[in-house]
Structure formats: C-alpha cells, structure tokens
C-alpha cells in the first residue's frame, strides 16, 4: 500500500478530532503570550539572555505540544479505532510512520510560526536588550524552537503508543519537565543538561555556557525522542490492537 493515501487518512483524523487543532492553537497562544510578558518584564539583569527571554514562552507552550502528540495517538485506543486502522493498513510500521508524520508536520509548521511570532512580540518589549541579536542567532532560535516542539510532540506520541493512554503519558512527562527538570534537576549537576527539555532548549540561548551546544543539545532531545518512538514501535508490533 502506498504511503501517501495512508498519510492523508491520518491527517484527516487529526483535522476532524476537534481537540487536536485546538491544542495547536493553544501552543501558539500560550507561547506567544508568555514571550510577550517576558519581553515587557524587567530585564535589567546584565546576565540575562535576550534570545532565551524572547522565546521563553516555549516553556509553557511545550505542554500543548506534548498534549497534541499524546492525544493524536491515544484517540486510536478509544472504541476500537486502532483495530479499524490496522484492518485498513495491515502493515503496522507503515501506519505508525504515517501517524508520526501527520503529527510532526503540523507541529513543525505551528512551531515555526509560533517561534517567529513570539520573537517579534518579545523583541518589541525588550527594545535595546535585543538590539545585539544577530540575524543568524534569531534564525537559529526560530528554527530550533520549531524543531524542539516537534521533537517533544513526537516524544509524547511514542510514549503514548507504549502506554496506550494520553493521561498516563502526560502524568509522566508534565511533572518530569515542570518538577524534575527545574526543581530536582538543579541538584543533579551536569546530568540535568542531558534531560530532554533542558538539552533541547539550549538552542534557544544566544550564548550557551554548558556542556552542550545549540545543535548537540537538540540532538540529545532527538535521541530521547528516538528511544520513545522505538519503544512505541516495539509495543505496536508485539501487542494486540
């Protein structure tokens, strides 16, 4: 069976499940709003990173990206939908690849648009604080932000395929990102830099000062995502629909 019609079918599912487009809208709104707030906040700290401040809305916005990836997969486990999907597409690997592509493409496009909007509104508030940002740094921040959000959505999608529940996935990932990474993680030394969110967000810094650089940090997040996707693929092949 060709890949294109399977992809069209999966894209149609995402378009017609109402919470999913709303989640992408929430991603845009939350990220842009929090970046705008950061832009008009006091930035007198000479050590503040203007690029990270301009894109700081990605911290709450990524929860929407995780939710999008998780819900797009978990919808298949309601009312026997997965059995129907696999009856139409018996090759599970092909179906899984189409599902992930249907998640990745709209997340990437939304992430790039969101990052650009967040950067523009935050720069307006930052004023002179952002004057030193080069075009290359801003481009890297926007592209990196879009890729980071896409990887987080796929991370959630892979974990949901393994756990078969968006609630279970988000119950693991949201506390991990909001609590472990920012509260417990600071006591973990350099190990915290290799957590999926911390590593990926290095690409949002104008001048990274840790072990990882912008793209190596994003590569670490990609490895976390690949592990989750492989675990999901293993579960999909081994377990009954």
The residue segments making up the domain with residue 64 are 3-238
| pLDDT tens readout for residues 146-157 | 999 999 999 999
* Count of domains forming the chain: 1
SS3 labels along 4-62? HHHHHHHHHHHHHCCHHHHHHHHHHHHHHHHHHHHHHCCCCCCCCCHHHHHCCCHHHHH
pLDDT greater than 70 at residue 239: yes
Whether 117 and 32 have beta carbons less than 8 Å apart is answered as yes
More confident call, 176 vs 69: 69
The CA-CA-CA angle for residues 70, 193, 223, to 5°, reads 50
Q: 180 exposed, middle or buried (CB, 10 Å; 0-12, 13-18, 19+)?
A: middle
- Helix count and strand count (H, E) for the chain: 10, 0
Tokens 């590569």 belong to residue: 219
For position 187, what pLDDT does the model report?
Answer: 63
Whether 123 and 43 have beta carbons less than 8 Å apart is answered as no
How many whole angstroms separate alpha carbon 167 and alpha carbon 50?
Answer: 35
Name the percent of the chain lying above pLDDT 70.
Answer: 93
Mean pLDDT of 225-237: 96
User: pLDDT grade, residue 128 (50/70/90)?
Assistant: confident
**How far are the Cα atoms of 22, 91, 119, 155 from residue 38, in angstroms, in the given order?**
24, 47, 11, 27
| pLDDT tens readout for residues 162-209 | 999 999 999 999 988 877 776 665 665 677 888 899 999 999 998 888
Which of 207, 204, 203, 234 has its CA nearest to residue 219? 203
For position 78, what pLDDT does the model report?
Answer: 84
For position 45, what pLDDT does the model report?
Answer: 55
């Amino acid at each position: 069976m060709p890949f294109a019609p399977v992809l069209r079918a999966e894209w149609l599912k995402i378009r017609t499940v109402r919470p999913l487009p709303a989640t992408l809208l929430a991603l845009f709104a939350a990220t842009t709003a929090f970046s705008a707030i950061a832009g008009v906040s006091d930035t007198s700290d000479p050590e503040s990173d203007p690029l990270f401040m301009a894109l700081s809305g990605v911290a709450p916005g990524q929860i929407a990206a995780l939710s999008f990836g998780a819900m797009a997969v978990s919808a298949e486990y309601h009312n026997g939908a997965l059995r129907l999907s696999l009856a139409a597409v018996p090759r599970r690997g092909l179906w899984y690849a189409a599902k992930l592509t249907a998640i990745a493409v709209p997340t990437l496009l939304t992430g790039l648009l969101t990052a650009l909007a967040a950067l523009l509104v935050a720069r307006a508030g930052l004023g002179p604080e952002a004057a030193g940002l080069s075009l290359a740094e801003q481009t890297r921040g926007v592209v990196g932000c879009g890729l980071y959000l896409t990887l987080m959505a796929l991370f959630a999608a892979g974990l949901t395929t393994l756990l078969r529940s968006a609630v279970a996935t988000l119950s693991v990932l949201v506390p991990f990102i909001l609590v472990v990474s920012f509260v417990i993680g600071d006591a973990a030394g350099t190990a915290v830099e290799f957590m999926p969110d911390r590593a990926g967000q290095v690409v949002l810094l104008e001048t990274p000062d840790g072990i990882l650089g912008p793209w190596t940090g994003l590569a670490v997040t990609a490895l976390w995502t690949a592990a989750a996707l492989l675990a999901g693929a293993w579960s999909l092949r081994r377990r009954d629909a």
